[in-house]
């Protein structure tokens, strides 16, 4: 609860009267102020703000608009995966949060490592947190030496960015690792184009999606457009991660404040990857409670506003997480039958993650549609 708020209890509902300034929430987006162009996650923010009569506005991501933000505002900037956002978001977040003093979601602690598996691994290693063992190279010869003499196959190769298993492949042989290393220290590898037969786009479950994607790219090329506009090649590094066999699913734990939403994501058929499979099991009796404990611990220690963790079991039966992200599918969270608190209690009820984020950010109760 902030110091500039008063609370009255009316029929069990908290009503907050802001004392000093008018509350205003700004949703930062690309392009114009046309709500049709706003991503679905942000549209839910706008819906909730309207329902709760909270003053808000859409702020285009333009230099001329950035200076209209004041320290009384609350800014929500959920960046996408393109390179311009990758470069711009950390700068804006620091200026808003640290220089102007604005409340921001996601804040610096939550977002500086977003979509960067190298930064995430190093951050967690610095805090001795159970992030799956990884090998990172910025030198071609060192990477080749590791692949030829030290690596124990199979291992997982990843680009540092990407979602839905799109840039993740299983490397079974030394020759495959060498090929990937040479590509990364040569022309580089672009998003969704990891040169491997294990690329998820070649998997039978993705066949129709892959065909549509290629046809769309062909049409863009005919129009003179760059199909990969906004995505520069990944190069001059190599990232491998330990393969943890025997996992038919991962356990996704999403922590927002004192709430944790849990479900299991089943692997694609004949595949080791679960991210992006769409096969979700919401049975809370099957959730490994150790995952909840670790997720709450990590979020508290690293001061995350919101974070989703992908847990797997290792050879000894312990649990560890192989990826984390503050950005996730909101419908998957809403479909959870409830959430867990820090004491291990399960509270039934469906919540949009945007509801929880706004409550944590603004310190007020948010009504849902």
Q: What is residue 124's predicted lDDT score, i.e. its pLDDT?
A: 98
Please tell me the distance from the alpha carbon of residue 33 to that of residue 93, in angstroms, as a whole number.
21
Q: Give the right CATH number for 247-351 from 1.20.1340.10, 3.40.50.1820, 3.65.10.10, 3.30.470.20.
A: 3.30.470.20
The predicted pLDDT at position 64 comes to 78
- Residue 226, pLDDT score: 61
Worst-scoring range by mean pLDDT, 75-89, 145-159, 214-228, 296-310?
Answer: 214-228
Does this chain's domain 133-242 share its CATH topology with 247-351?
no
- Is 133-242 assigned to CATH 1.20.1250.20? no
Per-residue pLDDT of 332-355, as tens digits, reads: 999 999 999 999 999 999 999 999
> CA 98, CA 322: separation in Å to the nearest integer?
30
pLDDT at 267: 84
| pLDDT above 80: residue 28 | yes
- Per-residue pLDDT band at 10 (split at 50, 70, 90): very low
Mean pLDDT confidence for 305-324: 97
Pairing of β 238-242 and β 155-158: antiparallel
The arithmetic mean of pLDDT across residues 244-268, rounded, is 94
Can you name the residues that pair with 212 across neighbouring β-strands? Answer: none
The pTM is what? 0.85
Parse the chain into domains and list their residue ranges: 5-111, 133-242, 247-351
Class of domain 5-111: alpha beta
Higher pLDDT, 210 or 232: 232
For position 3, what pLDDT does the model report? 35
Examine the pLDDT at 12 and tell me if it is beyond 60. Answer: no
DSSP one-letter string for 163-231: STTTTEEEE-SHHHHHHHHHHHTTT-B-TT---STT-GGGSGGGHHHHHHHHHHHHHHHHTT--TTTT-
Segment 162-216, tens digit of pLDDT: 765 678 899 999 999 999 999 999 999 987 667 664 554 445 445 565 556 556 6
């Amino acid at each position: 609860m902030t110091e500039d708020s008063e609370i009255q209890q009316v029929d069990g509902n908290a009503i907050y009267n802001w004392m000093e300034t008018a509350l205003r929430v700004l949703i930062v987006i690309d392009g114009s102020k046309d709500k049709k162009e706003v991503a679905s996650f942000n549209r839910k923010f706008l819906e909730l703000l309207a329902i709760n009569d909270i003053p808000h506005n859409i702020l285009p991501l333009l230099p001329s608009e950035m200076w209209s933000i004041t320290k009384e505002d609350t800014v929500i900037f959920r960046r996408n995966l393109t390179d311009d956002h990758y470069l711009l978001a950390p700068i804006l977040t620091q200026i808003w949060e640290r220089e102007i003093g604005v409340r921001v979601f996601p804040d610096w602690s939550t977002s500086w490592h977003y979509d960067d598996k190298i930064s995430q691994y190093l951050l967690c290693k610095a805090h001795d947190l159970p992030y799956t063992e990884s090998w990172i190279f910025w030198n071609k010869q060192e990477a080749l030496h590791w692949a030829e003499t030290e690596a124990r196959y199979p291992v997982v190769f990843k680009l540092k960015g990407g979602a839905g298993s799109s840039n993740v492949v299983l490397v079974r042989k030394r020759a495959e690792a060498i090929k990937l290393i040479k590509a990364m220290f040569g022309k580089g590898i672009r998003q969704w184009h990891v040169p491997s037969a294990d690329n998820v786009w070649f998997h039978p479950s993705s066949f129709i999606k892959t065909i549509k994607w290629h046809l769309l790219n062909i049409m863009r090329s005919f129009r003179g457009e760059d199909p990969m506009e906004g995505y520069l090649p990944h190069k001059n590094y190599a990232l491998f991660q330990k393969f943890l066999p025997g996992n038919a699913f991962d356990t996704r734990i999403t922590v927002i404040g004192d709430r944790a939403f849990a479900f299991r994501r089943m692997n694609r058929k004949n595949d080791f990857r679960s991210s992006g499979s769409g096969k979700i099991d919401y049975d809370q009796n099957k959730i490994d409670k150790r995952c909840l404990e670790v997720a709450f611990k990590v979020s508290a220690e690293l001061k995350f506003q919101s974070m989703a963790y992908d847990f797997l079991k290792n050879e000894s039966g312990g649990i560890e997480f192989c990826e984390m992200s503050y950005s996730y599918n909101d419908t998957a969270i809403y479909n959870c039958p409830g959430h867990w608190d820090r004491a291990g209690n399960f509270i039934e009820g469906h919540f949009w993650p945007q509801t929880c984020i706004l409550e944590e950010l603004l310190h007020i109760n948010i009504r849902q549609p």
